[in-house]
Chain A
Amino acid sequence: MSEYILETKNLGISFGGLKASQNVNLKIKEKQIYGLIGPNGAGKTTVFNMLTGVYLPTEGDFFLCGESLKGLHQEAINRKGIARTFQNIRLFNNMTVVRNVMVGLSNQPEYNCSLFDSFFRLPRHFRVEKAMRERAKEILDIFGLLDERNNLACNLPYGKQRKLEIARALATKPRLLLLDEPAAGMNQSETAELMDTIRLIRDKFDMTILLIEHDMKFVSGLCDEITVLNFGTMLATGTAEEVLRNPEVVRAYLGN
C-alpha cells in the first residue's frame, strides 16, 4: 500500500500530433479534497478520462493505492475503486431516483445475484433486492433525496440531479471520487450547499476527492491542495494561497 491513494507518473496522451496532456504528476493523499483547475481547454477532463479508462494514456502510468490501472476497461477501473461524475449530467433519465442508485450498487459482492436467481425469482433475488433498496435509501437520505426517490431522474431540478449523480458514483463504493465541475450552473446558495455536501461525503465515507472546477471561491474554500493545468501541462501545485500567488498562474488566467 503506497502512501498515496492516487499517484500519476508523467501521465500524458496525444491525439495524432496534438499533445492534449503531458507530464501530469498528481499525488493525492487519503481523505484529501484535491482541486484540478485551469483555463478552458487545459486538459482537465482529458485527465479524468484517462483516469477512468475512457482514453488509454499514451505516456506514463497511474496508480490507485500503488496498483497500476492503466489499460483496464472503464467498468474494471470503476470496480477497482475510481468513480466519477460528468461535466454534462449523465443520469439514467427514464429510471427512478432510487433505481439510479441501485444500478450503482449492483457490482458489490454482497449484492451478488446470478441471472438464474433472477429468472425464477429465487429467495436470493428477493434478499438482494431488499438489501439494495435499503442501502440505496440510506445513501439518498444522506443527500436529502429520500423524498424524491420514486420520481424519474429527468424530472429532478438541476441541483438535485448533480447530487444524484454523486450519490450514484458513491454507491459503487469507490476509494477515489472524481467530480467534473460539480458546481457548474449552480447559484451561490446551491454552491454553498454543495461545498457542505462534499465535505460531508469526505467525512462520512472517508472519501478522497479529486474535482475540476472553475469557480475559484469554491475551489479555494474547499480544496486542501490544488494543481493548475494549462495547455495540458502542470503549471503549479500547492495550497490555494500558494497557487493563486504564483505569477505563472495569474498570467495563464489573466494574460500578461
Chain B
Amino acid sequence: MSSFSEKMKKFKWKHYINYIVIGVLTVVFAIISAAGGLKSSSTILLEKIAISIVLAVSLSLVVGFLGELSLGHAGFMCIGAYLGGKVASLLVPVFGNGTVTMLIALFVGGGCAALLGFLVGLPALRLKGDYLAIVTLAFGEIVKVIFQQSKLFGGNLGLSTPNRPNRNTFFIVAFALVLFTLLIIQNLMRSKHGRAITAIRDNEIAARATGINVTKYKLVAFMISAFFAGIAGVMFSYTNSSVQAVKFGYNYSIEILVMVVLGGMGSINGAILSATLITILNEKLRTVLTGDLAVLKDLLYALILIVIVIYNNAPALKGFREKYNFRNLVAKIWHPKNDPSIVKDDAASWDKVPTKIKMDEILSVDLKVGNEFTPDKPSKGDK
C-alpha cells in the first residue's frame, strides 16, 4: 500500500492534468447528453471546440516548439476535409456509416495532409521566418482554389459528406481524437526527438553543430502537424456534413495562429484553453448578434482579442497579473499557507535583482583586488 502512495507522489500530475481534465469533462458531458440535457447546438459547439483544440495543438508544434511561422494550417485541414469526406462518402455504401468508415476516412485525410506536408516542407523549410510564412500562406490558398475548381469535389457548391453516425455522441469521438492528438504530440515533445526540435528553435546553428539532422526534424514536425490538421478536417466534414473550400481561407489559418499565440507559444495547455475560449467566443458572438447587429461581430471579436493581448503583455499590468494569475489563484486554494504571490527573499527571480547598486562600488572592488581591467571583447557573429 505504501508503494502505491509513493507512486502517487512520484506521479507527475503536471504532465497528465490536461488528459484528466478533458477526459472528466467529456464523461460529464456524455452523462448530461445521455440524460437528454444537451441541445443539438451544444453538441455541435463541443465538436467545434474539439476541432479547434486539435488544430491549435498541432499548429503549436510548428510555431511554438519548432519556431517556424506557418500560415497554411487551414490548407492542410482543407485536404483532410475534402479527401477524408470523399473517401467516407465512397465507403458508406460498402461499410455503412460507422466506425470503420470513419477510421479509414481519418487515416486517409490525415495521411494525405501529412504527405502534402512532406512535399511542401521539403523545399519550403529551407526558408526561414517571414519567407516560410508567405510560402505556406500561398500553399493554403492554392489548395483552396484547386478544390474549389475541381468537379470531382463538387466545385463551388462544395462536397456533401456523410453526416455524423450519431448526432448525440459524436462529440465523444471528437474528444477521443483530441486525447489522441495530445498523446502523440506531448509524448513527442517529452522525448529526445522533442528535445531536438526545441534545440532547433533555440539555436539552429548550434543544433547542426551538435549533430542534429535539422532537415529531418523540421520535416517530422511539419508532417505531424499537417497530419493532425488533416484529422481535424475530417472531423469538420463529419460535423458539417458538407465541405466548402471558402471556409479554409487564410482567415482561418490566422485564427488558428491566434489561438496558439494567445495560449502562449510552446504551451500546449495554453493552446487548449485559448482554442476553447476563442471557439466559444466566436459562437456566442454569432448567435447573440443577429440581424443588423451581425456586422458588429468581427469588430467585437477583434476588440476582445486586442484587450486580451494587451492584458497579457502590458508592463504596467504586471503586478496585477501576478496577483490574479490563474496558477497562483489555484495554488492559493490548494495550499492557503504558502501563497506564491508573496515572493520570498530567497525565491527572488532574476528580474527582481536590486538595481540601485552604485557603479563606483563595483569598479572600486574590482580594482582593489588588483585584477587588470580587461574589457570583454565585443562578440562578433561567426562569419
Chain A positions within 8 Å of B, measured between CB atoms, are 45-46, 49, 52, 54, 73-75, 78-79, 83-84, 86-88, 90-95, 99, 102-104, 106-107, 111, 113, 115, 117-121, 125, 128-129, 132, 155, 168-169, 172, 180-181, 184-185, 187-188, 214
Contacts and interface: CB of A to CB of B under 8 A. Distances in A.
B199 A88 contact: no
B207 A52 contact: no
B14 interface: no
A157 to B, nearest CB: 12
A102 B209 contact: no
Interface in B186-218: 187-188, 191-196, 198-199, 201-203, 205-214
A91 B214 CA distance: 16
11 contacts: A49-B383, A52-B209, A78-B209, A88-B379, A88-B381, A94-B198, A95-B199, A118-B187, A118-B194, A169-B209, A184-B379
Interface string B339-383: 000000000001000000000000000000001101011011111
Contact of B196 (A91, A106, A129): A106
Contacts of B211: 75, 78-79, 83, 104, 106-107, 172
B interface, over-half SS: helix
B207 to A, nearest CB: 7
Contacts of A90: 203, 205-206, 209
Contacts of A113: 191-192
Interface in B167-181: none
Contact of A104 (B188, B210, B214): B210
B277 interface: no
B382 A88 contact: yes
B212 A103 contact: yes
B281 interface: no
Contacts of A117: 191
Interface of B: 183-184, 187-188, 191-196, 198-199, 201-203, 205-214, 220, 350, 371-372, 374, 376-377, 379-383
Given A90-B203, A129-B192, A121 B198 contact: no
Contacts of A104: 210-211
A102 B203 contact: no
A92 B382 contact: no
Contacts, number: 120
Nearest to B185: A119
B382 A49 contact: yes
Nearest to A172: B211
A135 to B, nearest CB: 12
B11 to A, nearest CB: 14
A118 B209 contact: no
Nearest to A120: B187
A184 B378 CA distance: 10
A188 B370 CA distance: 11
B212 to A, nearest CB: 6
A132 B203 CA distance: 21
A172 B213 CA distance: 13
A75 B192 contact: no
A51 B284 CA distance: 60
Contact of A75 (B208, B374, B376): B208
Given A94-B202, A106-B195, A113-B192, A74 B209 contact: yes
Contact of A115 (B188, B206, B214, B372): B188
Q: Closest 3 A-B residue pairs measured CB to CB?
A: A118-B191, A78-B211, A88-B379
B16 to A, nearest CB: 12
Given A75-B213, A90-B206, A184 B195 contact: no
Contacts of B203: 90-93
B212 A187 contact: no
A81 to B, nearest CB: 10
Contact of A119 (B188, B207, B350, B374): B188
B188 to A, nearest CB: 6
Contacts of A45: 382-383
Contacts of B198: 92, 94-95
B265 to A, nearest CB: 10
B208 A188 contact: no
B206 A91 contact: yes
A128 B190 CA distance: 12
Count chain A CB atoms within 10 A of each CB in B194, B196, B212, B350 and give the residue with the most. B212
Given A52-B209, A90-B206, A155 B350 contact: yes
A121 B184 CA distance: 9
B306 to A, nearest CB: 27
A103 B208 CA distance: 11
A120 B379 CA distance: 44
Nearest to B192: A106
Contacts of A84: 209
Contacts of B201: 94
Given A93-B202, A93-B203, A118 B188 contact: yes
Count chain A CB atoms within 10 A of each CB in B192, B202, B205, B213 and give the residue with the most. B192
Contacts of B377: 181, 184-185, 214
A79 B212 CA distance: 9
Contacts of A214: 377
A91 B210 CA distance: 10
Contact of B195 (A46, A74, A95, A181): A95
A95 B203 CA distance: 11
Contacts of B206: 86, 90-92
B192 A121 contact: no
